[in-house]
């Protein structure tokens, strides 16, 4: 498996945290790569999509036909997908189905190898549901006729990883931490750089086919030690850590959900896995692929540097399905099966289109929402209290934005440079909501900014919700419009004003690009 030019490598989960970093590394090494994800739009917005040796394919692991097409002609398949997403009712069942479909499709396509990144499973009969699922997926992939290489990791440390973000927010925000006893459980964290090294190395070492390996860093650490290392590298005062026996995993997940950007629904299975000691039981991979492994202190220092430099390549929040609601296609209420409420405000400014667009795509995160940030923060806290994502996901980059990116409690559905930004709400709601920004230049050189909120209510609760927040739209939208004018130095020619009547015309997301390829 040493001739990159004659082998096509498939990466399932190419828009995820690990997959988004693996694809460019494989391309840099000269491999031909087929990047596969559930959304071609998200794939096309990744920097690697323009590489001459990169092929973009949209496929759903729960759709055998699309999966078979994606694997056709591929020699090796990387399996880097996981169904443990916020709101997923039974990720284990979904992971089981996805793995079975992949095995069948790989056998039909004549794939030579599968390479799977799973979780390290401890010698403990009482392992978490999450670790059980990771182990089951590995067994399913290894049980087919296609040889499978399984790499099993514990905590992965790197800028943007869920583990690092939890660590960062806990230590940054809490000078005193009342923790469960698992804070003194041992694990063997590994740097994302070392994970990628092993994943790439498996292509060069055919002897890894059909085998399973533990991968970990050079040292075994407790979670308490990781807190201390982060505290020192971040230059923080010493944190007081108090382990107590009465903090349950469920309570811990709610607390993590409130303090960190990771929602409680995702934190819960992660926390349950922290009860188990996860360390390498064998070191054969180190003999096959020798490397000076990264210690936790160096990994945390590098991650902090990347965050400070605002060059986080991928983030845990990158993963997930990009679902454009059917009713959002030009607000067809009849098609959607219900009335779509809307609220639209317009302001006309004297030119400044470029500066205005730069401010619009910089919205959220540390920049805030240009008006009523206290209200936005309150809405984020309310969302966190009911298990939602809240505002703390922020944004990956302060000014660069792409389709599929998380933006506070929104997801970017469409970006038309200089014209349109469309956001889908991912907070807990009794319905579905969109927020749209549209810029249009007039024939006399002015710029019209229209901000439109659209909402499809779910039942009576959804209707009551809409009318309870409707009065706030006037305050928020008018304030945002005036603030944008002030920050860009654009003179206000007209407005801001409420647009009466039907909602402003809309476009199918990506109608000017390749979204509907």
> What pLDDT, on a 0 to 100 scale, did the predictor assign at position 326?
64
According to CATH, what is the number of the domain 4-318? 3.40.50.720
Report whether 447 contacts 333 (CB < 8 A): no
pLDDT digits (tens, 9 = 90+) for 319-339: 766 666 766 655 444 434 457
* Residue 183: strand, helix, or coil: helix
Using alpha carbons, list the distances in angstroms from residue 99 to 89, 219, 451: 18, 32, 43
With a cut of 70, say whether residue 88 has pLDDT above it: no
Percent of the chain clearing pLDDT 90 (strictly above): 54
Every domain of the chain with CATH number 3.40.50.720 lies at 4-318
pLDDT at position 321 is 63
Is 418:357 a contact under the CB 8 Å cutoff?
Answer: yes
pLDDT class for 513, splitting at 50, 70, 90?
very low
Between 179 and 199, the higher pLDDT residue:
199
pLDDT of amino acid 334: 41
Tell me how far apart the alpha carbons of residues 408 and 73 are, in angstroms, rounded to a whole number.
39
Q: Provide the mean pLDDT of the chain.
A: 86
Residue 512 scores a pLDDT above 70: no
Residues 293-308 have a mean pLDDT of 94
**How many CB atoms are closer than 10 A to CB 402?**
17
pTM to 2 decimal places? 0.81
Tokens of 474: 């006037």
Over residues 245-265, the pLDDT tens digits come to 776 666 777 777 777 777 776
- Tell me the DSSP string of 15-45: TSTTHHHHHHHHHHTT-EEEEEES-HHHHHT
Residues 6+ apart with CB under 8 A from 252: 179, 180, 182, 267, 271
Assign domain 336-498 to a CATH class.
Answer: alpha beta
Summarised one tens digit per residue, pLDDT across range 273-299 is: 677 888 999 999 999 999 999 999 999
Q: Which range is most confident: 208-217, 332-341, 445-454?
A: 208-217
Return the structure tokens found at 482: 């005036």
pLDDT digits (tens, 9 = 90+) for 20-58: 999 999 999 999 999 999 888 888 888 898 999 999 999
138 CB-near residues (< 8 Å, 6+ apart): 116, 118, 148, 150, 152, 212
**Could you give phi then psi for residue 309, rounded to 5 degrees?**
-85, -5
pLDDT band at 162 (very low <50, low <70, confident <90, very high): confident
Query: Residue range 209-224: average pLDDT?
Result: 95
Q: Write the DSSP assignment of 243-291 as a string of letters.
A: E-TT--HHHHHHHHHHHSSS-HHHHHHHHHHTTS-B--S--HHHHHS--
Q: How many CB atoms lie within 10 A of CB 241?
A: 19
How open is the CA angle 375-378-379, to the nearest 5 degrees?
A: 90
The pLDDT > 70 percentage for the chain reads 89
pLDDT at 317: 76
Most confident range, picked from 126-135, 162-171, 265-274? 162-171
Specify the pairing of strand 8-12 against strand 410-416. unpaired
Q: Please give the Cα distance from 102 to 455 (Å, whole number).
A: 37
> Is the separation of the CB atoms in 298 and 244 below 8 Å?
no
For residue 496, is the peptide bond before it cis, meaning its omega torsion is within 30 degrees of 0? yes
pLDDT of residue 157: 94
More confident residue, 388 or 30: 30
The enclosing H or E element of 221 equals: strand 221-222
Predicted local distance difference test score (pLDDT) of residue 515: 35
**Boundaries of CATH 3.30.530.20 in the chain?**
336-498
Q: 112-126, 322-336, 352-366, 440-454: which range is least confident on average?
A: 322-336
């Amino acid at each position: 498996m040493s001739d990159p030019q004659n082998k096509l490598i498939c990466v399932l989960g190419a828009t995820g945290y690990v997959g988004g970093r693996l694809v460019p590394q494989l391309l840099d090494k000269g491999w031909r790569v087929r990047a596969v994800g559930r959304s071609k739009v998200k794939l096309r917005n990744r920097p690697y999509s323009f590489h001459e040796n990169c092929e973009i394919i949209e496929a759903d692991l729960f759709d055998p036909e699309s999966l078979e097409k994606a694997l056709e002609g591929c020699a090796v398949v990387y399996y880097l997908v996981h169904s443990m997403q916020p709101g997923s009712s039974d990720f284990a069942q979904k992971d089981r189905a996805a793995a079975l479909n992949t095995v069948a499709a790989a056998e039909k396509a004549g794939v030579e190898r599968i390479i799977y990144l799973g979780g390290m499973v401890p010698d403990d009969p009482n392992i978490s549901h999450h670790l059980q699922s990771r182990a089951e997926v590995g067994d399913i992939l290894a049980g087919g006729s296609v040889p499978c290489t399984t790499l099993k990791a514990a905590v992965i440390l790197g800028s943007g990883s869920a583990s690092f973000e939890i660590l960062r927010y806990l230590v940054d925000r809490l000078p005193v931490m009342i923790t469960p006893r698992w804070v003194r459980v041992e694990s063997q964290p590994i740097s994302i750089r070392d994970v990628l090294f092993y994943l790439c190395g498996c292509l060069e070492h055919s002897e890894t086919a059909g085998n399973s390996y533990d991968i970990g860093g050079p040292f075994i650490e407790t979670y308490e030690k990781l807190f201390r290392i982060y505290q020192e590298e971040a230059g923080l005062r010493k944190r007081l850590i108090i382990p107590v026996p009465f903090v349950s995993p469920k309570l811990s997940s709610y607390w993590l959900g409130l303090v960190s950007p990771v929602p409680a629904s995702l934190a819960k299975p992660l926390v349950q896995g922290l009860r188990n000691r996860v360390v390498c039981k064998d070191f054969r991979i180190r003999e096959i692929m020798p490397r000076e492994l990264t210690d936790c202190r160096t990994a945390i220092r590098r991650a902090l540097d990347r965050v400070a430099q605002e060059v986080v390549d991928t983030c845990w929040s990158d993963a997930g399905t990009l679902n454009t609601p059917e009713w959002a296609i030009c607000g067809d209420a009849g098609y959607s099966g219900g009335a779509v409420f809307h609220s639209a405000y317009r302001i006309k400014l004297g030119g400044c289109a470029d500066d205005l667009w730069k401010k619009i795509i910089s919205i959220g995160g540390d920049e805030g929402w240009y008006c009523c940030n206290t209200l936005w923060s309150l809405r984020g806290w309310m969302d966190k209290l009911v298990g939602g994502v809240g505002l703390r996901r922020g944004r990956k980059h302060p000014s660069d934005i792409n389709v599929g990116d998380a933006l506070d409690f929104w997801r970017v559905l469409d970006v038309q440079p200089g014209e349109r930004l469309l956001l889908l709400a991912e907070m807990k709601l009794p319905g579905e909501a969109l927020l749209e920004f549209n810029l249009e230049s007039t024939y006399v050189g002015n710029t019209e900014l229209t901000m439109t909120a659209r909402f499809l209510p779910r039942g009576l609760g959804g209707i009551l919700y809409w009318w309870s927040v409707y009065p706030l739209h006037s305050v928020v939208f008018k304030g945002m419009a005036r603030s944008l004018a002030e920050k860009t130095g654009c003179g206000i020619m007209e407005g801001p004003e409420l647009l009466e009547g039907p909602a402003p015309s809309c476009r199918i997301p990506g109608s000017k690009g390749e979204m509907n390829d």
